[in-house]
Amino acid sequence: MNISREQVDALNAVVTVAISKKDYADNVEKVLADYRKNANIPGFRKGQVPMSLIQKQYGKAVLVDEVNKLLQTSLNDYLVEEKLDILGNPLPKITEDFNWDKDDFTFEFELGLAPEFSVDLAAKSKVTKFEIEADDKMLNEQVERIQKQYGKMIPQDKVSEDDNIRGTFTNEEKGINNSTVITLDIFNDKKVAKKFIGKKVGDVVSLDTKGLFDDDHKLMDYLKVDHDDVHGLDVEVAFTIEEINAIEKAELNQELFDKLFGEGVVTSIDEVKAKIKEDAEAQFAQQADQKFLNDVIENLIENTKFELPATFLKKWIQNVGENPLSIEQAEEEYAKSEKGLRYQLIENKIIADNNLQIQFEDLKSHTAELIKKQMAQFGQLNPSDEEVEGIVARVLSNQEEVKRLSEQVMSEKMLDLFKEKVNAKVKKVNYQEFIKEMYGE
């Protein structure tokens, strides 16, 4: 057998595999001998069927099967030995007049090769790393929210300015049907709030969504409208009042502090605010990190220049599925997947260049932290190491979970690397400013 490669250009090659009779003859003969031992053909005892008859009945199919097995094995071994970094899979070149009656065969395969390129993480970029601060306005609002949450609800016959109103927003055309609790200070226009004053349970208030809130994103919270639909949404919604309550705010005293944070953990309103600030900024940091990671990825895709074997990849996409695609369908699929493929190549390059590896201990530690957080949500604040380790072992026995968690660990390693090496501008913002930055508005 002989395998050779013709380099068409930097991104395309053709591999030729020449197979002669001596490469496959022994395997074909062995398989046919096994067929003969087990063949049940009328007029012959088992194992006594003439080989010529076996050859006539099964010879061609066995030959094709054994040649294909040999072909796949030898081609795969060649790609490994030559250390060829290919995209997709080798595509066989179709030969219209291929003849299986010959003794020697030649097969050709098209290859799409991964491009060579470099990734400069320290290059000048427009990426911004946001640091989100919980400002005084947010802290005061959170304290007031806590006072209302732990306060006393007093049912009311009519809506007054500071009441809590439970009801349902509806709009049949847009499929809006969301039950929620509102206060009148959420509306952007005081005229809208006045529509509610004096209303009773069962009354319906009609509202225009355009300009209803100071930030259109609040439509996502109160009406459960998708982000893509909130901007410029201009429909009429009905709010049906179902319950009206005045709130007698809870006192800011030690009893409330102990209920919130545990006995003696905080002893003053300043300490309460410090605790709220710490917890809020920890959550904000996760959101800021995710945006930073996404922005770095977008920046790398945009600024890391390399060519792809596009013609080959479109052809591969066209033929790789169970049902072949049309040229137009393959073009469309390639357009959808090109960006993802580019980042996959960039990511692999970064991982190799920086020797990023996932050790089993990394995976165990990451899984244990996730489990502890989940247990804390259900009130189990101090689980034993033995208990956590048992759950970790069960989780990591599932290969799908191992794959998912490995991706999370690698994402964290990439984030740490980007924080260290990417040339980003640091910008401090409050949460509302961050939301506007995040959505590009």
pLDDT, tens digit (0-9, with 9 covering 90-100), for 14-23: 999 999 999 9
Of 194, 213, 248, which residue is a domain's last?
248
Residues 406 and 373 in one domain: yes
Q: Do the Cβ atoms of 87 and 307 come closer than 8 Å?
A: no
Q: Under a CB-based contact definition with an 8 Å cutoff, are residues 93 and 109 in contact?
A: yes
Same domain, 318 and 198: no
3-state secondary structure of 188: coil
CA distance 49 to 39: 7
Strand partners, 19: 105
pLDDT tier at 262 (50, 70, 90 boundaries)? confident
Note whether 329 and 423 are same-domain residues.
yes
CATH number at residue 95: 3.30.70.1050
**CA proximity to 200, closest of 164, 237, 248, 243:** 243
| Residue that finishes a domain, picked among 84, 113, 142 | 113
Residues 420 and 271 in one domain: yes
Query: Residues 434, 287: contact at Cβ < 8 Å?
Result: yes
385 assigned to some structural domain: yes
Please give the pLDDT value at position 407.
Answer: 94
Of 219, 248, 277, the residue that ends a domain is 248
Give the pLDDT of residue 28: 92
Query: Based on the domain organization, do 429 and 300 belong to the same domain?
Result: yes
Domain match, 223 and 278 both: no
Residues 279 and 243 in one domain: no
Take residue 154 and report the two structure tokens written for it: 């007093």
The total number of structural domains that make up the chain: 3
Report yes or no on 319 lying in a domain: yes
Q: What is the pLDDT of residues 172-202, one digit of tens each?
A: 999 999 999 999 999 988 899 999 999 999 9
Domain presence at residue 413: yes
Is 389 inside any structural domain?
A: yes
Does this model's pTM top 0.85? My answer is no
Note whether residue 299 is domain-resident. yes
Mean pLDDT of 424-428: 95
pLDDT score for 441: 55
The per-residue pLDDT for 48 is 77
- Same domain assignment for residues 354 and 305: yes
Q: Is residue 367 part of a domain?
A: yes
Distance CA 367, CA 82 (A): 38
Q: What is the pLDDT of residues 55-102, one digit of tens each?
A: 888 899 999 999 999 999 999 999 999 999 999 999 999 888 888 989
Strand partners, 301: none
- Report the percent of the chain where pLDDT is more than 90: 75
**349 and 416 fall within a common domain:** yes
The CATH number of whichever domain residue 203 belongs to comes to: 3.10.50.30
Which bin fits 99, alpha (ψ -120 to 50), beta or left (φ > 0)? Answer: beta
The answer to whether residues 276 and 228 belong to one domain is no
Q: Each residue of 354-395: pLDDT tens digit?
A: 999 999 999 999 999 999 988 887 878 788 889 999 999 999
Most distant pair of Cα atoms in the chain: their distance: 102
Instruction: Compute the chain's Rg from CA coordinates.
Output: 34
Pairing of strands 86-92, 105-113: antiparallel
Q: Which domain holds residue 161?
A: 152-248
pLDDT digits (tens, 9 = 90+) for 140-167: 999 998 998 899 999 999 999 989 999 9
pLDDT at 440: 64
Does residue 34 sit within a domain? yes
Question: Residue 142 falls within a domain, yes or no?
Answer: no
41, pLDDT greater than 80: no
* 204 vs 52, more confident: 204
